[in-house]
A and B are shown apart, each in its own frame.
Chain A
Amino acid sequence: MQITVNGRVLNVAAEAETPLLYVLRNDAGCKGVRYGCGAGQCGACMVIIDGKPVQACDVPVSAVAGKSITTVEGIGSEEKPHPLQSAFVEEQAAQCGYCITGIIMSAKVLLDSNPSPSDAQIKEALSKNLCRCGTHLRIVRAIKRAAAEMSGARS
């Protein structure tokens, strides 16, 4: 079985029903895909498949064979962070930070289809993501900042 992670083809050694999460973390080395609940309830392991947000803990690796998966490692780097990642630093939109990578992935899907979302639309797009530290308001501000910067860059 093969999957494509951030543009790289990966031969999967795991059994078919293994949750995608463990393949991404342990075989692809994408530790930014976080384990939070294993039941698709917290969003810490959010990745993007076919343009849609998917919780990697809740989907067997066999279901994504041949598909292209984007993780947080695939959208930006230290040298060239994604505007969302820069905006989260600018707004200091993290406390423990464990939920943040999943939230950034949900936000990326939102901004890809809606370049200037309202606060309510952002909150709605994050309805599958939990944050326990109470950083919600900063997170919303960071996403708005990223949206503004991305629109500015396009125009």
Chain B
Amino acid sequence: MAETTTKRKLPGSLEINRQLSQWLTINKNGTVDMRPGKIEIGQGILTAVRQIVAEELDVNIDRVKVTAASTPTSPNEGTTSGSRSIEESGVAFRYAAAEARELLLARAGVKLGVSIEQLSVNDGVVKAPSGATVSYWDVTSDDLLQREATGEAKPKAHTQHKIVGTGAKRIDIPAKVLGKPVYVQDMQTADLVHARVVRPPSQFAELLSVDIDDVKKMPGVVAVVQDGRFLAVVAEREEQAIRAQARLRRNAKWKEVAQLPEFNPRYLLARTPKTEVFSEKKGTPAQGKEFSAEYTRMFLAHASLAPSCAVARCDNGKYTVWTHSQSIYPLRVELAPALGVPEEDVVLHHVEGAGCYGQNAADFVATDAAVIARSVPGRTIRLQWMRDEEFQWEPFSSAMVVKTRATLSPDGFVTDWNMDIWSHGHGSRPGRVDGKSNLLAAWYTEKSLPRAPTGNPPLPGGGSHRNGVPIYDYPNQRVTNHLITDQLLCVSSLRGLGSQTNVFAIECSMDEMALAADVDPIAFRIRHLKDPRAVAVLEKVAQMAKWQPKEKGANNKGRGVGFARYKNAAGYMAMIAEVELGEQLRVTKIWSAVDVGQIINTDGLTNQIEGGIVQAVSFVLKEEVKYDRVRITQASWDDYPILSFTEVPDVEVALINRPELPPVGAGEGTQGPVAAAIGNALFNAAGVRVRDMPITRERIVAAAAS
């Protein structure tokens, strides 16, 4: 009889990286090596997965050494994004470590001459009822984990957890506060040379002429690279590279074209989209009062504190790149054809950069560095983008327009919901195999690759349509996505993707209808919710903020609510914002109740939520990418201000732990609820409904006048 070849489904990223040895090594010297394919971006993921491994193995957490992701040695966990790292990497480690523990106990049992059930473990020391002991380190061997995971080892019950669910301190923070060279920006080798790129003044510019000869003669200059329209300099010292860059910029003549859209997201409505109805529900015909509105948001930047950087070498046609990319494996897939080499000739090592909150220029600078390395073979080149380059060439988060139309029944229920979303794609991460590319430099080199259209991560998570489907229970519903696939400004993923604007639209509409129905906005939401976890976070946040039913703002001060379940599948987040309208709109406090299932690290989670809230406030109050019809015009923090220390609101976070439920992502879920809570609080404070973000003084004045 033919044997079935169907492989069993394994948990998390074990499914695609099935060898236990890819994940863990139990060393004879009393340490455990773990190799996550996910990467640290300041979210504390390495600390959290380390807790999981220490927990399942029953070893002291200090024994567990974490190796940063690297294409030769790590499991392929794709991209670190979408708040999926605990679900994918954390779960894989949980099962891999549980199985490693079973294998170790089996060997220990043989040595001690007792059955596994009789053994106990304390920090890797296995004890028999007689008191005889043997340690993991005694029984381990090189072949211990050279086997495919079965997924059958049972992880501990949450009631037994001692390390998971605590606030274990982050492993990366001590080196960071001491100023150690932990970032890719800090890498130093004896043969290191410094590179800078010279980009066109605008994306679609043609290179008319460039004089590279006098740049070559400048002090310290090692090479001037001209590869099609891709220009770069390499020099011995960093400041020499910067001077050479400035000279080469002056020496390059370009012809620019006015190809950027107007400075208003509504340009999206006039473009030809790919239209898809992605949620439809037909119930009892709707009757009642109709509400319709239009919400917009401008392009946003990731605006990482550190401009992007990469280090690269080319030796005998083979490339090694050190990068803060969130996608080392997918980047390799797309980088190899851009360099014209097979994938096995490209090795990528992850080294931390500054927080990125989505796809910043990490993949772009890595590509630039590899292209430059080709011209200076045998030397290590360090390419640091400058601040203006980061502000002008990082992939932005698309502007959006959302139109809503809803019907409110006379008894105060939403009976019909229609929403239409217009946006460019929110996912241009690397990994394409269709010969097109999203890697900036690949569009400009001699053997250039065509620019890829913009797209979205697929549903159910989605991209521009993320959180486009309301979590509320409406009998009639139709949600339509209008995806604009062209890419006038370069776009990709930013924390939360389309959820920020979609939740803003849904939640502002809910408040308006609650007011019309004369029902408290929190009670109004709850009457449309069936999920008890959703109700619980709303009730919790109301209690924290001492929310008064139907409370009214006064003297330009007020409060408002915002709620969503991220991706309708991850964390539940309910927020109350308190605002004060003076010369500018000021957010003074945010209360927040959060349920992300089982909590792995309480303090790490709180840190992520606090940070997400503060950043969301910054997005809503201040941020928009500046451009005219030809160029991105922002070059500095003056042009793209973010929330400062004196403007940061007080933040209070309550966590609802559900240790019996799977842990889900937390980092991105704050964006939509915060935006909505601020919009609703402004209305509560001053009676002005602003539907366009950022909510600046100009927009408040305009909305008040209309």
Contacts and interface: CB of A to CB of B under 8 A. Distances in A.
A148 interface: no
A2 B703 CA distance: 59
Interface string B544-569: 00000000000000000000000000
Given A97-B176, A135-B610, A38 B387 contact: yes
B179 A95 contact: no
A59 to B, nearest CB: 13
Given A22-B239, A137-B610, A95 B387 contact: no
Contacts of A100: 176-177
B42 A97 contact: yes
Interface in A38-86: 38-39, 41-42, 44, 71-73, 76-78, 81, 84-85
Residue with the highest number of chain B CB atoms closer than 10 Å, among A18, A26, A96, A137: A96
Interface in B162-180: 167, 169-170, 172-174, 176-180
A132 B179 contact: no
Contact of A96 (B42, B179, B238, B384): B42
Contacts of B181: 31-32
Nearest to B617: A134
Given A92-B169, A96-B354, A138 B607 contact: yes
B178 A85 contact: yes
B642 A96 contact: no
A151 interface: no
Contacts of A132: 303-305, 354-355, 357, 615, 642
A37 interface: yes
A127 B644 contact: yes
Interface stretch (B86-94, B325-333, B645-653): B645-653
A95 B636 contact: no
B600 to A, nearest CB: 15
A26 B355 contact: no
B602 to A, nearest CB: 11
Given A22-B237, A94-B170, A137-B650, A32 B178 contact: yes
A124 B44 CA distance: 28
B179 A101 contact: yes
A89 B305 contact: no
A41 B169 contact: no
A132 to B, nearest CB: 5
Nearest to A74: B179
Contacts of A29: 188
B178 A78 contact: yes
Given A89-B169, A92-B169, A127-B644, A133 B42 contact: yes
A43 to B, nearest CB: 9
Contacts of B618: 134
A33 B179 CA distance: 7
A18 B608 CA distance: 38
Given A32-B180, A95-B355, A132-B355, A89 B174 contact: yes
B307 interface: yes
Contacts of B303: 132
Contacts of B186: 25, 31
A150 interface: no
A18 B243 CA distance: 10
Contacts of A97: 42, 172-173, 176-177, 182
B41 interface: yes
Contacts of A96: 41-42, 305, 352-355
Nearest to B601: A92
A41 B637 contact: yes
A125 B13 CA distance: 45
A14 interface: yes
Contact of A44 (B188, B305, B613, B644): B305
A30 B180 CA distance: 8
B386 interface: yes
- The size class of the interface chain A forms with chain B is 35 or more
Contacts of B638: 41
B359 interface: no
Residue with the highest number of chain B CB atoms closer than 10 Å, among A26, A38, A98, A129: A98
Given A30-B179, A39-B387, A123-B646, A134 B305 contact: no
A24 B612 CA distance: 33
- The size class of the interface chain B forms with chain A is 35 or more
A130 interface: yes
A135 B636 contact: no
Nearest to A61: B239
A15 interface: yes
A67 to B, nearest CB: 19
Interface in B394-421: none
Interface in B521-556: none
A94 B170 CA distance: 9
B137 interface: no
A71 B112 CA distance: 56
B470 to A, nearest CB: 27
Contacts of B41: 96
A48 B641 CA distance: 25
A37 B391 CA distance: 10
A126 interface: yes
Contact of A73 (B179, B188, B387): B179
A117 B607 CA distance: 24
Contact of A94 (B173, B239, B637, B650): B173
B220 to A, nearest CB: 10
Contacts of A81: 174, 177-178
A124 B646 CA distance: 6
A14 B186 CA distance: 19
B610 A31 contact: no
Nearest to A105: B179
A42 to B, nearest CB: 6
B43 interface: yes
A123 B614 CA distance: 15
Residue with the highest number of chain A CB atoms closer than 10 Å, among B183, B239, B384: B239
Given A132-B305, A133-B615, A137-B648, A95 B642 contact: no
Interface string B320-344: 0000000000000000000000000
B307 to A, nearest CB: 7
Contacts of A30: 179
B386 A38 contact: yes
A136 B645 contact: yes
B355 to A, nearest CB: 3
A63 to B, nearest CB: 15
B79 interface: no
A104 interface: yes
A113 to B, nearest CB: 18
A99 interface: yes
B314 to A, nearest CB: 22
B611 A135 contact: yes
Contact of A26 (B182, B237, B614): B237
A35 B384 contact: yes
A140 B355 CA distance: 20
Given A36-B305, A137-B651, 5 more contacts: A31-B188, A32-B179, A37-B636, A134-B648, A136-B643
14 contacts: A32-B181, A37-B637, A39-B637, A42-B305, A77-B178, A95-B355, A97-B42, A98-B306, A98-B353, A100-B176, A134-B643, A136-B648, A138-B610, A140-B645
Q: Which 8 interchain pairs have the tightest Cβ spacing?
A: A32-B179, A134-B614, A96-B42, A97-B176, A96-B355, A134-B611, A72-B179, A95-B42
Interface of B: 41-44, 167, 169-170, 172-174, 176-183, 185-186, 188, 237-239, 303-307, 352-355, 357, 384, 386-387, 603-604, 607-608, 610-615, 618, 636-638, 642-646, 648, 650-651
